[in-house]
Structure formats: structure tokens, C-alpha cells
Structure 1
Amino acid sequence: MVPVSTHTAAPTEGVPSPPGAFIQDRLAGWVSDLTTLHELTERLAGTATLDSALHELLRAGATLVGSGRGLVVLEPSDGRGPTRTIGLGLTHADLGHIETVSRGATAYGRFLDGLPDTEGPRATPDIPGGAGLDPRSREVAARLGYAADYTQPLATETAGRLGAAVWLYDEPAEPLERQRHLVGAYARYAAEHLARLLELERARADAAVIAEELFPSRLPRIPGVRLAARRRAGSEGGGDWYDALSLPDSALGLAVGSVGGSGPAAMAATGRLRAGLRAYAVMEGEDPVAVLSDLELLLRLTEAGGAATALYAYCEPDRHTLLLAGAGHTPPLVTGERRTEFVETGLSAPLGMLSCWEAPSVEITVRPGETVLLYTDGLLHRTGDTTDRAFARLRSAAAGVPKALRQDPGAVADHILRAVLPDGAGRSDDTEDIALLAVRFD
């Protein structure tokens, strides 16, 4: 038997309460932070371009550190670019004022310049009252109405310094330790994502430069005709091309074509085919079938298993005639005030698909004031319609060119692109190339 006391014990003082509530609060806070971080990184992972990723980085960082304004500067330390300065809640004029502050006087500028002891984040909690700050920094802060900033470097082990993000506060303040931890974890993920997008943008820029070298630097000028060319490159660097060259007796060689595939291999094949066609046009320009037959042989020798389409036309401006042949290519379109119709070039498989390429040539006579359009099938594919509907859409766009624009082949080409493509000029992320060559006869 255990005796029970009838006296009530006095409350014990100085003994802490059970830690259960405290631990639960901490756990709830960690779960909330992890959920927020997961959501923000998921949104960042969904960005596909540098600009969109930088904008998302700024917005997410502002949420994490409790700020409403900021800027991010992309400036890779390898010096290869590209560079960007993007603001959140700041105008271009505001960014210009901030850039007037000496880089050595800013935490992000010192980091980007690789100065010692600038690797970690930096806070300036009280710009108006802080000691030792650059006078210009105070002046710009007062002008733009911010009193504190927080700088988060962006870097990876492999890519090195990429840039820095700066968030601004309207009153003296600085992030809490928890906020610093969250934005630091987010910035590490963001830097890796930016490094991948940076390499992708550089590769696209290099491909664009190479692609431009595959096209004529300028179109020939021959009495009796005027030429204009338009090209819309796909995001993956496809193999659509065009060419125009002067031939003896004031004639012209005109060509468009498309190589299967995309990327560097397609561009290399494009360069070889275009160079070969130029040589064959000089030797056998009056016979389009012979030109394309030689091109078929070249494709078989240099692109084993490859396929391509091409259309070549021998143009005599003084006679207003085109003698042309196609190899699996889309038919030309003749448009003017009295007619808009496709030219039937005869059936033929693409280059590389037959043991011996041969298709009959077709001669057409073009009336003064009419324009002949040579184009690649990317123009049809980008419409998103079926083949028949895409051809009808192209014909309708050509027939609807205003009379005032028909004198200029460039204006005709621009009008058709705007009318045919669903988004007007075409999206930069579309994988389909477009090559369009407009030939107007005076």
C-alpha cells in the first residue's frame, strides 16, 4: 500500500514546460520552408530561357527575403557572355542610376570583379546611417527610395562566377538567419540552372552565326528582276536554305532546299549541298535536271543515308521565263494582280531516295509585275494545319497582298510571313526552319 498525502504540493518554479509545443512549431516551420523552396525551384525549372529564368529568380528571391524590389546582373567570369541586367520593380532609368555607382563600392560589383573576401552574401542593413559607405551609393539610394540591400552571389564549381542578385528594402532591414538560409539554398540551385541555360544559349548563338555564313551575304542585282529573301531559323538549327547567283548572259540561278535533321550535322550538310549546287549551276545552269542529278550524286557520296529536297530554277529576266525542276520540294507560287497559282513541277522523290534522280523540267512565263515565291516546307509546317489547308492558307496570303506592296518583293515576303504564320513573325522556339525567296519581274 502506498500512502496518499492529503496535502497539495506547491507549484514548482523555474522548471521549463515540456518541449513538445516548441518542437512542433519548429517542425511546422521547416516543413513550410521546404514546401516553399520546392515550389519555387519547380517554377524555376520550368523556365527555358535565360531571361525568363532571371526574372523568376528575382521574384522568388524577393519572396524569400521579404523584399519588393531588386536586380540581377548576369556577367559570366569567363568573359564569353552574354550579359544581362534585369530589374524587379525598377525602371530602366532606375537601373541606369544604380550603374552609376562605382562597382568597387557595391557588393555585387566586387563579387563580379573577383575581389577578395566577396564570395558570400552581403547585407547593407542601413544605407542612410551606415558608416564608411560610398557617397554615391547613399545618393542613389535616397533618389530611388531604398534604405537597405541584400546581395546574393550566383556561382557554380564548374562555371565559376555567373552573376549576382540584389534585393532592396524601403526601410533599414536585413534578412533573418532563416531567410538567408533559404535564399542561399535557392540561389545554389538557380546558379546550376542558369549555367545550363547559359551553355544552351551560347550553343544556339554559335549555331546562328554558322547558319548565317551558309547564306549569300547579298543577293545579285540583275536588270529586269528584283530579289528578296527571308529566313526564320528554328530553335534547333535546321537545314533549310536558299541561294541566288549570277550566271552568264545575265541569267540567274535560283534555289531553295531542305536537309533532313537538325543541329550541326544538318548545317554542315546544308553547306556542302549549297556549295555543290553553285558549282553545278555554273557548269550546267541551263539544265535544271542535270543540276539536281549532280546534286543527287553529291548527296550520296557525302551524306550516306541522308535525304534532302531541292528546287532549282534557271531564270532569264529578259525573256521573263523560269526553267525549273524540283526534287521532292514544294511547288513555287506565282502571284500578281491577275493570278495567284502554284506551279506544277512534276513528281519526284527527294534527293537520296532514288537510285538515279530524274524528273522533267518545267518552263513558265512570268508577266511583268508578278512575283515568284520559292519557299521551304517549314513555312507550311509552322502553320500547324494539314498540308492541303496550309497550301490554301499560303495561296490566300499571296492573293491578299495589298497593291501598294506588290512593287517590293521584300514587302510581299513580309506580308506573306505575317499572314501565314499563326503568330505573325514566328516563334523563336519553333523547331521548323523557314527559307523564302521572292523574285519580282519588272
Structure 2
Amino acid sequence: MNPVAGTVNPVGETVLVVGSGTREYREYLLRSAASRAYLWLLDEAAPTWQSPHLAGSSQVAPSNVNALIAEARSVAEHRKVRGVFCYDEALILPAAQVAEALGLPGPTVTAVRNCRDKHRTRALLRDAGLPQPKFALVADLEEAAAAAEWIGYPVVVKPRGLGASRGVGLVRSASDLAGFFADARSAHHPGVPTYRAGILVEEYLEGPEISVDGVVHGGEYASMFLARKEVALSPYFEETGHLVDAGDRLLSDPALRWVLAKTHRALRVTDAVTHTELRLTARGFVVIEVNGRLGGDLIPYLGGLATGIDPGLAALDVALRTPPDLTPTRARTTGIRFLYPSGHCRVDRVTVPAPDEASGLLRATALAAPGDELRLPPLDYLQRYAYVLCAGNTPEACTGSLDEAEAQVDFHARPLELVPDGRKAS
């Protein structure tokens, strides 16, 4: 059901969409939301693939908050605007500023800043009595060295405002600190704020990593689904896969529920969809970070396939301050695996297998094309050449399908010769 196509719209209201992301990773969210509300896109570029899901659009740079708010007000003059919808990490703050300026539901600007600024997150959770690693905010290498000595090696060095593990590194000794500090300080992403003291040095905590996508409605937190994370390319933290089991026992763990609820209260999140990353350590569950939007890497899509809960509709409900329906309608395991080259390279070809539900393979997608250059951390991040997405009745069956699908991906590339500073050799 798509109101843009002329069918009945059960909500009958317009929701502003701030940014739309990439088709491969975010179209499923637009499609779901468009089945329940008229969507009006506010983005710098004119819509292409987004068009079938939209009632209209305005070209405006979301990073220009004043222009963004002015355009949102202009749309509201001739449409019944009732909410703001955003799932782009770099744009959730402008989206919150639009909602606040127009008096619409959604996360407050303060709540978004509490999530986006990793130092504010750490300090607020510490003050709330939640387990936290030792941490220090630093402005230069000298401060970083003093913080690492106080904390004790190994330490994690990370940018204060970035996501997706960009610029994050595990430093095992003082002799390695300068390089990792430089990597963290040089990492960037469009639309992400910068700070004078922009680097965090943290105690490294051992333990498996998980993420939980959930909703906060009227101050009450509820989980949708939990993903088990795979990380590789040490000493960096590239996310290479996620597994979502609808029957994961951690979802009903009282300690995890307590941490999630208290975390969101401490960050003053009252109405939002969030993606919380945690480690299960000897101290219990420790929050790594909270993102004020749905997870990336198709994790919400996996969650919907595993549980039947539609993350796009849940996010839309939050945008309209409507109680979301989080009733599971299926129970299975889904997983995704991202494939990385073994070194810096220029791609010759990537061929992926066709979907085959009998083997559990639901989707396989090439992410690189012939001629593309892929660089591994610290030169670049998220440089994947393909992914495979599978389902199974159990986590073991799903993992087996992922192994089989990965083996069927045909990847050929030539090494990319680089001089020490990361540039191509002439």
C-alpha cells in the first residue's frame, strides 16, 4: 500500500524525511514508511530511486540548518506535516532541530547531542552509575599519552563524534600511540561535528559485542531485536558481520533490559528509535555507544526478516508519537557477512551467487566494480567488495549458509602499491 500511488493512506499525514541514504542500505525503510504516510524528502540532490516512495521533495542542503528549517516550514504551509523521519547518523541532529523548530515529535536536540558526542555519552552514563571503561577526553598527543598511562595499556583511541568504527584503533603499547592518535584525528565523515578536544582514550574491555535496535515511546524503552556482531582487521574494529536470532536469550536478560532502560533515561531520550552497541564483559553489559537512529549495515532489515517486526513502521510511529507495534510474527535467524580484501587492491571483478532460498541465501550483492580501489584501515574504512545475507532455522544453520555463500563469491583484484603515506605509487 503506497499513498503516493493513490491508495488510501491510513495516517493521512506528511512526514519530512531528512536525507535518504543509499538505495542498497536504506530503501526498505522508505518503502515501509511510505505505506503509512506521505513522505516529503529534504535533501541536497534531486530524488532518483527515492521517487516512487515520495509525495514530494525539496532540494536543500541538510547541513545548512537554517535553510533546512525554512524549507520545512514552507512545506508545512501547504501540507499537514506531523513528524520528521531520519536514519542518517550525520543528519539526525539537523532533523532534531527541524522537529524542535516546528514543534513536532521526535528526539530532542539535547538527546541527540547526548548520543552523538561520545564524551557526553560516557560522562552521563558514568554519572548515572552505569558500568563504564576508564576514559579521558584529549586534545593532543601529549594528553593522549598521559591518559593512556593513567588508564593502562591496551587502550582504545577513537574520534569523539564519528561512527561505524572510523578512526577507532586498539593501542597495545606506548610506542604505537602516535600512529593511532593520528589515524583517529584524521578520520572524518561529511556532516559530522568536529571538536577542539576531539579524541577519546578508553580502557579496552574484553568480551563479545552485540547491538540492540529499540524504540523509546513516552520515555519507555522497548527492544526490537538483538544482533551478535563480528569484528575483524585488528587492531581496527571493522564490522564484518551480524547475526540476528529471534529467539536470542539475551533479549529477555533482566540485566540487559535494566542497562538499556537506564542508559536511555540517562541520555534523556524520550521519543526515538535507537541503535545501542554493547560489550558483554566481566563487569556485565557495558554500553559502547548509542546512536539516535536505526542501525546501519542492514541490521534492522535482518531484524525484520527474523522477527517480522517492521523497523521502518516502528520508526514512523515514533516520528508521529504513536505507540509502535513490536509484536513478533516470525522466529528464525538471519545474518549478513561483509567481505573485505586481504590488502589494498584494485578490483578486477566481483561475481556473486544468485539467491537460493533452499540453501538459505536470500541476497548477495557486489559492492565494488572493476577498477575500484579498496584500501584497508587506517587508509580507509568500510571498504567491502560484497556481502551475502542468509536465513536459517537456527544460528548454526544460518552461519553454515553464510559460509557456503561466501565460498561462492568470485573476487579477483590486483595489489595496490602504496608509498608510506598511503598515496598510490607513481
What TM-score bracket applies, with the shorter chain setting the length? under 0.3
TM-score (norm 1): 0.22
Larger Rg belongs to: 1
Larger helix proportion of the pair: 1
Larger strand proportion of the pair: 2
TM-score (norm 2): 0.22
